[in-house]
Chain A
Amino acid sequence: MNSIETYYRRDEKAERLLSREEAIGIVDEIKAASSPSAGGRLDVRVFSYWANGVRWARNNTSLSNLGREIKVYIGRSKDRFAGTIITNQTDSESVVNATRLAEKIALEVAGDRPLDLPVNRETLESTPSKVWSEGVYNRTPSENAPSIEQVITDAESRGFLAAGYLESYAANVYSFSSDKWGRESTEYHQITQAQFSSTVRHPKGTASGWAGSSAYDFSLMDLGRIASASVEKCIASLDPVRLEPGRYTTILEPAASNTFFSLFLGLMNRVSPESGGAHPFLLGRDFALSRFRSKLGLKIIDERISLYHNPGDPVTGLPEIEGLNKVTLVDKGVLKSLFNYPSHSFQELYNEDISLSRASFTVPGTDVSMDDMISSTSRGLIVTRFSNVHRVDDKSVLFSGFTRDGLWLVENGKITKAVRNFKFTESPLFVLNNLDTVGISELVWNPTKARTELMGHPAYSLQSRVVPSIKVKDFSFTSTIDAI
């Protein structure tokens, strides 16, 4: 019986993920199978994941899923042409065939190129991951039941409809690479992720409330509070009134402000401005140095905003990865660093200070609560979150989207009524330059797991954000919409 069969046939008490030793065994088989005469690099990643999720809709459970999978990525590259194969068959014959096929692809593409350039990578020690929760990994379906029951019971007793998703996810990856000089490097990482989101709606579609959170551990999430908040917001958003669109002082809850911080993060690209691309952080051309200069070192947003990522902090959810050190992108409004690729970093900086792109970040907040922000507002709006956000104009970084799941009017320091949803058209650069107040930071729901989990690193696909609520002056709402 080969390893894939044993993996799928193991009983409930067995390990849910492939162990490190098993992964090393697969890599050894591939190493033995790869032909040294082909030259070039060998890259192997052995990835396995386990996920248990419960989905409910219209006050009933609609799905309870349990997923497990192995994926083995084999990359043989010669010069700068690569052949890649992904398989989940790990027996000796399959591994040999897959490796041969990868080599064949690489050689056919590369042609007759005798030598490739060296990549000077230090041999890496495997580093222990901090983004791991035994609670999530060992979670059973029965542990999920109370939170789901609470939200469904609450919603049902008030005549509302509840829907949502709760998931426990665990994954690990063992990666191996060697270049033609025989320099080898290995990495091993494991991560967990928990997510819970709840939407409660009025059966006639006249009100909606939403709350959610995601983290590497359930202990960072208050499931009861999320369940009750979604019901409370639904009640509060009943009977919305229609307001004229225009510029309003607007309080963005963390889930909403996350939209703008995320859009802002999307601009953090060093390569584009430094190659003269149409980018808002291009300062201009420095003729003396014959270089395009970015706005690094200049103040670009409100001085109360800093934005950094510390991969060592498990809350923002990345294990320790080589090349992923702590990076401060914005310090008190000043642009301090931009993401760059290793090749750009090497060619332009000539040093190892690579600021690899990542999707997790922290924006430190203050101790100003939502209540304080509301009480200091004479007239304004509160936004729970945005949806359907899309780019309108690249050059001015203008985005448009809808408010969703709760929008309220504040008058003289008090929430007075629910408001019909708006379409907004606004730029993150404008928003982050027109701040009135910065509130308390908290972990927001952002459980994206992109398909890069295999081709890249599974950790890159985790997007954990800690952001504050913010009060923005003159936020532009451009039309009303009928959606709830």
Chain B
Amino acid sequence: MKSRMLLITLVVLSVFSVLPERLYAQTKFDQNLDSPDLTTYIHPDECNQVITRMYTIKRNKYPIWLDTVEFSYDVPPYLRDKEADSVGRACLAKFNIEEFPSEYNYDWAFIYLSVGDTDKFEKLFGSLIDSVEIKNKAELYARFFRDSDYRLHSDLYRKIYAGFLTNIPRDSVLERVGVISAYANAQLKAGNFNDAGVSAIQLMDEIESAPDSVRNSNHFKIVVMISSMQIFLHTTYQEGLDSIRTSTDAYFNYYRGIFRRVMNDSTIDSIPTTIGKKFPDISGDFYFANVGDTVPGEAFDILGRGTPALVIRVDGSCHSSKPLIREGRQWPGQGYCERFAASIRRTMNKFPGLDLVIVSTTFGILGDGSPIAPREEAILLHKYVTDHFGLRGRMVIAETPFHRIQSPDARRVDLPSDMVEKLVASGVGLGSPGAVLLDSDGRVVISSNAYFEEEPKLVDAIRALLAR
């Protein structure tokens, strides 16, 4: 032990004795700093900071400039982005240590990769992989695929991927799914759509071959959903969409089928079905009992009529400005809310006896207008829904509670009202208009967040309900 310490000390001393000149020359060339000797700034604790910071810069796509600016305020100039790179290198050279504190291991390894020393990266990464359990192995592999760029290190990617296939056994399906998903996404990011397709097919194989005990677990379903959603989003937003379609069309059709099946036949415990259950007692702050009302009146019970009812939620986004912008020239055709409203209008024309209850929430503003009092907003909302959407029914509007971020930011963050929470629990989700069909006892017959897409299905349900 003593001899080892002595050896390390000697190595460090010898490095100190030769480095300052080299570092000075290097930093002068790289940075054009005024500092006479960069090494005077660096000490081991700071090196870790530098490396971590440099790692953050290299890992994150966007905050490079952000860090540049931040650095200029609270840390010395050698920590700015480009300087951090050379300082990082200087650190690696100065403290030529390969046994780093464990929490920095991956970061240090990644720095070796970022300065182009793939051998050292492989060595460190390999030793890391050897030293951790399977779960963490998978996490490391996934991190590598997420953090690095396939276009820069394609050979290394293949090597690491091959290592992954052998290091993580086939029965660790969960781990393999996560890593393959990260790999496929990395390929998509790099524009290698064929390779991404191959990886995605492999992912499907892994999912299909999973034992039943794993396949039936919620955790597995969530992992599959997330990974499939990631791939789906990437493929949707990548420029080479056509390329994906042609090369992996069959795969994606198949995959979407699986995905939909998982979603539709959902038996995930955390999302209970509301079909057949009593619809909650919804209460708001402003009530419009009759179509002709112009001001809020007395409260009423939305289930009180004892007839079949269609409860619809007109989402706040329908009367804020954003969707209206989307109906402009760039987004031809009707907006989401308009289609929803048209669908409800058609349905109500078919079944005039059906009770229509509209629920909504205030948002403090309307369109680009200045802030508005909840009561005034409720009146205008009611007018908007009846005049613009042409929906004739009773309406309940709840005031939205909010939290304000500490000054000077002071922005408002909306919180869900009691009404919204009850609606969500009843199957009318946030973020889009939704509809719930209730029978005369107030039990949920069917609920949908995409009414206009499922209009025929709902119309059939209403017809059957009224024929009872």
| Bound together | yes
Instruction: Give the B-binding residues of A (Cβ under 8 A).
Output: 79-80, 114-121, 247, 274, 278, 280, 282-284, 289, 291, 293-294, 296-297, 299-301, 336-337, 342-343, 346-353, 394-397, 427, 429-430, 433, 474
CB contacts (< 8 Å) of A119 on chain B: these are 367-370
A-B pairs with lowest CB-CB distance, top 5: A117-B367, A395-B65, A350-B412, A280-B69, A350-B364
Q: A118, B366: Cβ atoms under 8 Å?
A: yes
CB contacts (< 8 Å) of A274 on chain B: these are 411
CB distance from A382 to the nearest CB of B (A): 21
CB distance from A274 to the nearest CB of B (A): 8
With an 8 A cutoff between CB atoms, is B413 at the interface?
Answer: yes
With an 8 A cutoff between CB atoms, is B410 at the interface?
Answer: yes
Query: How many Å lie between the Cα of A282 and that of B367 in the bound state?
Result: 26
Query: How many Å lie between the Cα of A220 and that of B63 in the bound state?
Result: 46
Q: Within the complex, which residue of B69, B406, B410 is in contact with A349, where a contact is CB–CB below 8 Å? A: B410
Query: How many Å lie between the Cα of A394 and that of B68 in the bound state?
Result: 12
Instruction: Give the A-binding residues of B (Cβ under 8 A).
Output: 34, 62-66, 68-69, 72-73, 319-321, 324-325, 364-372, 376, 380, 384, 387-388, 402, 405-413
CB-nearest residue of chain A relative to B325? A80
CB contacts (< 8 Å) of B319 on chain A: these are 117
CB contacts (< 8 Å) of B34 on chain A: these are 247, 474
Besides the contacts A118-B372, A349-B412, what 4 more A-B pairs have beta carbons closer than 8 Å? A117-B367, A119-B370, A120-B371, A120-B372
CB contacts (< 8 Å) of B405 on chain A: these are 289, 291
Query: How many Å lie between the Cα of A349 and that of B402 in the bound state?
Result: 11
CB contacts (< 8 Å) of A299 on chain B: these are 73
CB contacts (< 8 Å) of B388 on chain A: these are 114-115
CB distance from A293 to the nearest CB of B (A): 7
CB contacts (< 8 Å) of A347 on chain B: these are 320-321, 365
Q: Within the complex, which residue of A247, A284, A294, A396 is in contact with B409, where a contact is CB–CB below 8 Å? A: A294
CB contacts (< 8 Å) of B384 on chain A: these are 115, 117
Query: How many Å lie between the Cα of A430 and that of B68 in the bound state?
Result: 11
Q: B370, A352: Cβ atoms under 8 Å?
A: yes
Q: Within the complex, which residue of B68, B72, B407, B408 is in contact with A433, where a contact is CB–CB below 8 Å? A: B72
CB-nearest residue of chain B relative to A281? B69
CB contacts (< 8 Å) of A349 on chain B: these are 410-412
Query: How many Å lie between the Cα of A284 and that of B64 in the bound state?
Result: 12
CB distance from B447 to the nearest CB of A (A): 26
Query: How many Å lie between the Cα of A293 and that of B325 in the bound state?
Result: 25
Query: How many Å lie between the Cα of A474 and that of B412 in the bound state?
Result: 42
**Listed residue (B72, B364, B370) with the most chain A CB atoms within 10 angstroms of its CB:** B370
CB contacts (< 8 Å) of B62 on chain A: these are 278
CB distance from A193 to the nearest CB of B (A): 31
Cβ contacts A to B, 17 pairs, < 8 Å: A80-B368, A114-B388, A117-B319, A118-B367, A120-B370, A120-B371, A282-B66, A297-B407, A299-B73, A301-B73, A343-B321, A346-B368, A350-B365, A350-B402, A351-B410, A351-B412, A396-B65
CB distance from A424 to the nearest CB of B (A): 15
Question: Given known contacts A119-B368, A278-B62, is B69 in contact with A291 (CB within 8 Å)?
Answer: no
Q: B69, A396: Cβ atoms under 8 Å?
A: yes
Q: Within the complex, which residue of B66, B369, B370 is in contact with A280, where a contact is CB–CB below 8 Å? A: B66
Query: How many Å lie between the Cα of A333 and that of B163 in the bound state?
Result: 52
**Listed residue (A117, A282, A294, A427) with the most chain B CB atoms within 10 angstroms of its CB:** A117
**Listed residue (B376, B406, B410) with the most chain A CB atoms within 10 angstroms of its CB:** B410
CB distance from B416 to the nearest CB of A (A): 13
Q: A284, B72: Cβ atoms under 8 Å?
A: no
